[in-house]
Structure 1
Amino acid sequence: MSKPGQRVLSSLRQMILSGELKAGERIAEIPTAEALGVSRTPIRIAFRTLEQEGLLIKLERRGYRVREVTNDEVCDSVEVRGVLEGLAARQAAEKGVTEKQKQELQTCLELGGSLFAKGYVTEEDLETYHDLNKRFHSLIIEASNNSTIAAALNRNEHMPFASVSSLAIDRHDLPREYRRFNFAHMQHHAAFDAITHGQGARAEAIMREHANATLRYTDLFCAQPTDKNIIRVIGGAD
């Protein structure tokens, strides 16, 4: 997906999470494109992606409806991802990563570190980090040499915010986003250290914690508490 397309997708996720687009509300391409100041093409692609992620429901007639996402639903799907990615990290540590995989993981860490070194982030920085984050996670899955894990993760990604690609950015509070993503990046360093030193149990624990960090540590990142029934935290930080 192009950078502008990714930005549209991220904006719509945030609008759903913040309640700006309410559960049950009908949305259509033309008014959404006009509101975001883009053409219909990225809106169309974003709607399809959000439907696959379980955030929108396609209507029989034109348009989509915003799906209600409960806290339990998000927690369950993220928990499953943590288990699967934790297993992948443990197996990668036990089997050993190739020199090429190690170098690529290290490159992700170095590039990510350069984004956070200045003490703040821009929207463009976070869009770049999205790609680095996705690559870092895919390398760990690849290093596990376990195709069943990849298949299970692919199925789980159709649940709300279960995908590592489910990035939403609060453009109104970039200082908070800096803390959130920098924290996730530090966890990447810890996971890399455990994997490359063959510490399977430690690698597994770190990746499981990494998947749950955004949900469990909401108060570290969010000024407002979450609603009791509907999740308001931002998924995909890890």
Structure 2
Amino acid sequence: MANAGIEVISTLRQMIVSGEMAPGERLAEIPTAERLGVSRTPIRIAFRALEQEGLISKLPGRGYRVRQITAESVAGAIAVRGVLEGLAARQAAEKGLSETQLAGLQQCLSIGDAIFSKGYVTRDDLNLYHEINQQFHELILEASDNPAIASSLQRNEHLPFASVSSLTFNFEQMEQEFRRFNFANMQHHTVVDAIVRRQGARAEAIMREHANVTLNYAEVFAEDSRPGSKAQSTR
């Protein structure tokens, strides 16, 4: 997916997380495109992706509606993802990596290191990280050689923020985003180290913790449900 498309999807996710797009709000292509200053094509693609992620629902005829999302639903979906990806990392460590899989993981780490070595991140950096992050997780899933894990993850991905691809970027808080994703990149290093050393239990624990980083989304939803929050004020 082109960087522009990734950025539009991430922006819309962030608007839903923050409450700027409130539960029940109707969404249509033209006004949303005008709101973001983009063409209708990336909006159309974004709506389809967000529907698959369980963040919006299709209305009869045309248009979508923002779904009600709770902290509990997000936390539950992420917990399931952590268990599944943890199992994938354990089995990858037990089976061992092929040369191609190891090279792919090392390439993801190298690109991530180059992104964060500057001490700051740009929009392009975050879009690139989105791509390598997805590749990284796909490689570990492939290395587990367990189709049942992939099948279970696909079913879980229809829940809000359960997919590894459903990252949000806050482009107004770039220092925060640097710290957040630099930490995630360091976790990538430690899980690869555990897999290479054939330390299955360690690899599983790190991968589960890596998924739990996403639980800050659940905390945001919990905060937004309190009186006086931004989300409350926009409803």
Q: Same fold (TM over 0.5)?
A: yes
Shift in CA distance, 225/84, structure 1 to aligned 2, threshold 3 Å: closer
Q: Report if the CA contact (8 A) 2:70-2:222 is conserved.
A: no
Report deviation, 1:104: 1.0
In structure 1, the partner of 2:212 is 212
RCO greater where, 1 or 2, for CA within 8 Å and sep 6 or more?
A: 2
Q: 2: CA distance between counterparts of 1:226 and 1:128?
A: 30
Q: 2: CA distance between counterparts of 1:131 and 1:115?
A: 12
Report deviation, 1:2: 1.6
Amino acid at match of 2:149: I
The answer to whether residue 180 in structure 2 is matched with residue 180 in structure 1 is yes
The answer to whether residue 223 in structure 2 is matched with residue 226 in structure 1 is yes
CA deviation string 1:125-156 (max 9, x = no partner) = 00000000000000000000001111111111
User: Displaced runs of 4+ in structure 1, greater than 2 A?
Assistant: 216-219, 224-229
Q: 2: CA distance between counterparts of 1:207 and 1:126?
A: 21
Q: 1: CA distance between counterparts of 2:222 and 2:216?
A: 12
Report deviation, 1:75: 0.3
Percentage identity across aligned positions?
Answer: 62
Q: 1: CA distance between counterparts of 2:225 and 2:7?
A: 29
Shift in CA distance, 227/109, structure 1 to aligned 2, threshold 3 Å: same
Let me know the Cα RMSD of the aligned residues.
1.9
TM-score, normalised relative to structure 2: 0.92
TM-score, normalised relative to structure 1: 0.91
Higher fraction of helix: 2
Report deviation, 1:73: 0.2
Report deviation, 1:174: 0.5
- 3-state SS of the aligned residue for 1:226? helix
Amino acid at match of 2:99: E
Amino acid at match of 1:164: V
Q: Which runs of 5+ in 2 are unaligned?
A: 231-235
CA deviation string 1:176-202 (max 9, x = no partner) = 000110111110000000000000000
Q: 1: CA distance between counterparts of 2:197 and 2:218?
A: 31
Report deviation, 1:216: 5.7
Report deviation, 1:218: 8.7
Aligned length: 227
